[in-house]
Amino acid sequence: MQGWYLKLLQWREQRIPNREFLVLLSLVVGILTALAACLLKALIHLFQYLLTANFQHYSENWLYLLYPMVGILISGLYVRYVVRDDISHGVTKILYALSQRKSIIKLHNVWTSVMASSVTIGFGGSVGAEAPVVLTGSAIGSNLGRFFKLDQKTLMLMVGCGAAGAVSGIFKAPIAGVVFTLEVLMLDMTFTSVVPLLISSVTATAVSYFLMGDAVLFSMEGEAFSLDRIPLYILLGVVCGFVSLYFTRGMNAIEHFFHKVSGFWTKMVVGSVMLAALIFLLPPLYGEGYDSISALLNKNPYHMLEGSLFYGWVDTPWLVVVYLSLVLLLKICASAATNAAGGVGGIFAPSLFVGCIAGYIFGYVLEIFGVDVPVQNFALAGMAGLMSGVMHAPLTGIFLIAELTGGYLLFVPLMIVSVVSYLTIILFEPHSLYAMRLAAKGELLTHHKDKAVLSLMKTENVIDTDLQTIRPEAMLGDLIKLISQSKRNIFPVVNANGDYLGEVTLEEIRNIMFRPELYTRFTVGKLMVSPPARVDFNEPMDHVVRKFDETHAWNLPVLDGTRYVGHVSKSKLFSVYRDVLVHISDD
């Protein structure tokens, strides 16, 4: 290390106590994440203005077929040849870093996601800017923490501060920023730990207000909440839950389809052509879609027809419903195609977009049938419902939508729809779209303390490698000599290639080990037994614990394929478990 760096660390440790330093660092993280969020929004709006300012509203625009493909090409080549790392699925990467990488996020994520997503979305990519900027904010927090050599628990908190600041900065929603970090990133914190999150969120919001003005993202004139509409909001919550299920499984199915497409260029061509065709037919799919949300919240669905082939054709309420339904159903195709083709973006904005349309269709259909309802209120509640269902984050959905629109008078409808939507989807999907990939591998950090500790444990840290191995052709006498030199009571049997065949325990040979006349009669191969279970070297730790519970064994062999690696014991596992638990817990 350079001398100035060591002096800086020493000066900090001597002059600034840890608690005050953490407050200062969370303040810096809030400022930097807000600047990143504002830069990203400014770049997206600049690209969109330069590309679409002269578009005709009353006829189709053929450049919709070109712009998305150009944007995908630029961002895809940038990621492949400049970044040379996967920067998609930003929130999933944060969850992985928290549970599997000791909260370490690569330094390039401080800027690469901002550049790639601004081009992707500015040129029409049908994704959101929130996940990239959350990854950027978390990377800022992680790398600042690493620069000052903070411990893993504090580093995890700095990642959370970065995420909270990013959400707060891009939406000007400080409460939602904190709640998102606790609910979606699933950080288990005490009140003392929440204070830095609050500081980062408030700071980022203040900077965003200063740079982008004090207007809310979506302005609307809704009607006050009425008790007689509670059954309708409950029904809307159920609808949002099933739409969330469609959103989640549809995105996974399309991503799975693209995984089967081999070759970088093939994926780029297939995905970009699909995206361009969808945007040309349905222009609301262009970019984040916030203009369309604003139009629906102000009861102007015909705005979504501008620049499309259907302008002037859709002139009845039921045709509007059909058009909006097509946009809702095909949004996931456009979003998945954007990321699969090489674009960079998240599902934050698409979930808000789909939720607004779902809620508007619900209220619009009721209005067609003569029910007097405030359609814009249902559109607003639908946004909260989809976010709650897709992200499994009802509190985030409630507070974010209230802060985005200033619709605090509609807190009760937002709560009803969010909770019902969440309760509906968890009947079918136990994890959010962000978390399900990691949950399937046992790599997800959760609020469940036991599961959180197990996810942070690694198999290689609990393996005992000091057991003496023996060949199957060895005689009982050779085994007795090995026993006399060993302190263990298990002897793995392996062949010449190191493949595990079985094991011999003292319990199995206790009745014959003191009979010298049998030392040349029995081979180890005849004496060995199979273990009650075997552990794979890469197996998640919760699976390992489950095997111990099911077999009641005290020791199990660990294999890398067929090759013997070592043994894992309950005593070693419990010892490491306690160390990790103490490390991540607050006093």
pLDDT confidence of residue 72: 94
**CATH architecture classification, 3-212:** Orthogonal Bundle (1.10)
Residue 256 CB-density burial (10 A; 0-12 exposed, 13-18 middle, 19+ buried): exposed
User: 222 pLDDT band (50/70/90 cuts)?
Assistant: low
**CATH architecture classification, 227-438:** Orthogonal Bundle (1.10)
Residues carrying CATH 1.10.3080.10, the chain = 3-212, 227-438
pLDDT confidence of residue 462: 81
* Alpha carbons 281 and 70: distance in angstroms, whole number: 18
* Alpha carbons 343 and 300: distance in angstroms, whole number: 30
446 pLDDT higher than 60:
no
DSSP 226-259: -GGGHHHHHHHHHHHHHHHHHHHHHHHHHHHHHH
329 pLDDT higher than 70:
yes
Tokens of 24: 């200062």
Could you tell me which residues are beta bridge partners of residue 211? Answer: none
**Higher-scoring residue by pLDDT: 97, 347:** 347
* Alpha carbons 19 and 21: distance in angstroms, whole number: 5
* Alpha carbons 304 and 306: distance in angstroms, whole number: 6
pTM above 0.85, yes or no: no
Per residue in 455-484, pLDDT (tens digit) is: 566 666 788 888 888 898 888 888 888 888
Residues carrying CATH 3.10.580.10, the chain = 452-584
**Higher-scoring residue by pLDDT: 444, 270:** 270
Residue 30 CB-density burial (10 A; 0-12 exposed, 13-18 middle, 19+ buried): buried
pLDDT confidence of residue 236: 97
**Higher-scoring residue by pLDDT: 382, 546:** 382
Residue 262: CA count within 13 A, CB half-sphere: 0
pLDDT confidence of residue 151: 79
Supply the mean pLDDT for the chain: 86
> Do residues 473 and 520 lie in contact, with contact meaning Cβ atoms separated by under 8 Å?
no
pLDDT confidence of residue 584: 52
Mean pLDDT of the region 230-237: 96
89 pLDDT higher than 80:
no
Number of residues written out for the chain = 587
User: 187 pLDDT band (50/70/90 cuts)?
Assistant: low
Mean pLDDT of the region 38-54: 92
pLDDT confidence of residue 189: 63
Per residue in 415-424, pLDDT (tens digit) is: 999 999 999 9
441 pLDDT higher than 70:
no
> Do residues 499 and 564 lie in contact, with contact meaning Cβ atoms separated by under 8 Å?
yes
Minimal CA–CA distance to 306: which of 286, 324, 285, 283?
Answer: 283
User: 587 pLDDT band (50/70/90 cuts)?
Assistant: very low
443 pLDDT higher than 60:
no
Tokens of 498: 């190191």
Between 219-228, 408-417, 526-535, the lowest mean confidence (pLDDT) is in: 219-228
Tokens of 264: 């970088």
Mean pLDDT of the region 411-431: 93
**Higher-scoring residue by pLDDT: 28, 512:** 28
Per residue in 126-137, pLDDT (tens digit) is: 999 988 999 999
Instruction: Return contacts of 469-475, CB within 8 angstroms, 24+ apart.
Output: 469/493, 469/494, 469/564, 470/494, 470/504, 470/524, 471/495, 471/496, 471/524, 472/501, 472/523, 472/524, 472/525, 472/528, 473/523, 473/524, 473/525, 474/523, 474/524, 475/519, 475/520, 475/522, 475/523, 475/524
511: Cβ–Cβ under 8 A, 6 or more apart, which residues?
none
**Higher-scoring residue by pLDDT: 112, 585:** 112
**Higher-scoring residue by pLDDT: 77, 53:** 77
User: 154 pLDDT band (50/70/90 cuts)?
Assistant: confident
Between 233-247, 313-327, 398-412, 416-430, the lowest mean confidence (pLDDT) is in: 398-412
CATH code for the structural domain at 452-584: 3.10.580.10
* Alpha carbons 235 and 224: distance in angstroms, whole number: 19
